[in-house]
Structure 1
Amino acid sequence: MAVSTETVMAIKTYQNQAEALVKNYFLADPFIPYTSVLGGIFACKVVYDLSQLVSTFYIKAYNGLTKIQRIEWNNRGMSTIHAIFITAMSLYFVFWSDLFSDQQHTGLVTLRSSQLSIIGLGVSIGYFFVDFGMIFLYYPTLGGKEYVIHHSLSTIAVAYSMLSGELQLYTYMCLISEVTTPEINMRWYLDTAGLKRSAAYLINGLAIFLAWLMARILLFLYLFYHIYWHYDQVIQMSLFGCLLTFLVPAVLFTMNLMWFGKIIKGLKKALAKRL
């Protein structure tokens, strides 16, 4: 059946209106932070549902879990995808992009930002909002007080950085630590699936140790070094920006050291059983 000219014109009109709405509002500079946050929340919902769907049909151990275990299973799938996304974004901005390069002469490195860097932080905030909500809803199953402290500091710092344009370099440096999340989640998956004594569990433990050492210990030491050598630029931020720059990495680093001690003890115990 042929489509009338009037119908084609009506469809074209609606298409043009939709494109104008996206361009003038959702992708307009003032709305990009909020659009990216909503996009992050929507992406979390999609990934959570896909994890539930795929696991139900293709992972035998999933259907034998309790209701709360299935919720945590899907939650960890969501956090893994976010970790992969934000780690890739962070590595790009910190090591490959020239946005925060000292060779750039476009202003203070502590005040630089771009549309893409804002979008990346917005998506991450959307994830933190969703995960925070689930932690409170099922507290303390999905995480105790240390997770609340971690997520609170992370959300405040990332949100301020996104909205103000300040300290985005240091925010992305801290977010590289999300590279350890997939390994942590895999440890839980293997344990829940009854594979704690498998070779995969031991290899994953070694991966956690190495990733944690690189991303949450050595990289944070480099972050403190960078802050020291760019102190004259750091202090030109707002008072709250300076406070976040000095406080948040220090608190997170302290928590990282405490968790790293537990990782080392656990790895020693696992290796001792193998010898």
Structure 2
Amino acid sequence: MMPAMPSILITMMTMCIMRLMIVVMTMIMIRLVNHRLNDIVQRNYELFSKLHLDGLCLMGKNSGKIARFNPNSYRRNSTSNKAVYTHELEVPQIDRPLRHVHCNSVTLEHVKVDYIVLQALKRSLKYSFRQMDFLYCMLNVNNQAEFAYLLREWNVQKLSFAHCNWPENSEFYSISDKLFEFNPQLQHVSISFDKVTNIKISDTTLKKWASCTSWPRSFILHNVKSEITHEGVAAVISSYVAQARAKRDKVFGSTILWNFGVVNTSLDWLTPTL
């Protein structure tokens, strides 16, 4: 018995459409034409070319939704002059457009970074990218290892946290030794706050860098009081100096910029150690 003709035609049409669409570069726009094209693109997104972006900025809204920021994604309210975003999505839905994008850097601004957000980003960004920035984010992640491992999975080399915060419960500290233990690939780290803030980075991280003779080229703590002491600072600086003497020009070929913030020691202890 021959299969019904309509079924064959639908299958053939889908195959033909996919053949034509595979060579199209603007999949992220094609999928908006109608529901059928969107369904085809979403089901077969791995076959299509990606939209390449230098940077991707995701902004959290008061509604709890997330908007992608770019010059064409919002308009100005004629009365308040505030930005009104034309495309806002619930967090579980952000992977639908983002899976068609490939970018070099990702910025999260005013986003409540929790398990749901991390899972959505994990589904969306299945590739390596160089830079990730968190601006004015609430870090509501109670699994430090999962957060740190995801950064390693993305192979992030340049990482910054600016004006972020988290719940008072210490379980939610996302910026800790665990972050650096899981991410030896980090080359540039910047952590800054408006006022002096405690974080859980200790001598453990600096001594690990010293023993492995591998460290970030820039490590900047601004308005940060950590658990770092003169022992950790002395260990990593001594290791750097020893490597500099051994390799000479090879070491000094790249600039090292370290600012350890408010170190938990006195100058009287630190000076003789160095």
TM-score by length of 1: 0.30
Bigger relative contact order (CA 8 A; separation at least 6): 1
Indicate the structure (1 or 2) with the bigger Cα radius of gyration. 2
More helix as a share of residues: 1
TM-score by length of 2: 0.30
More strand as a share of residues: 2
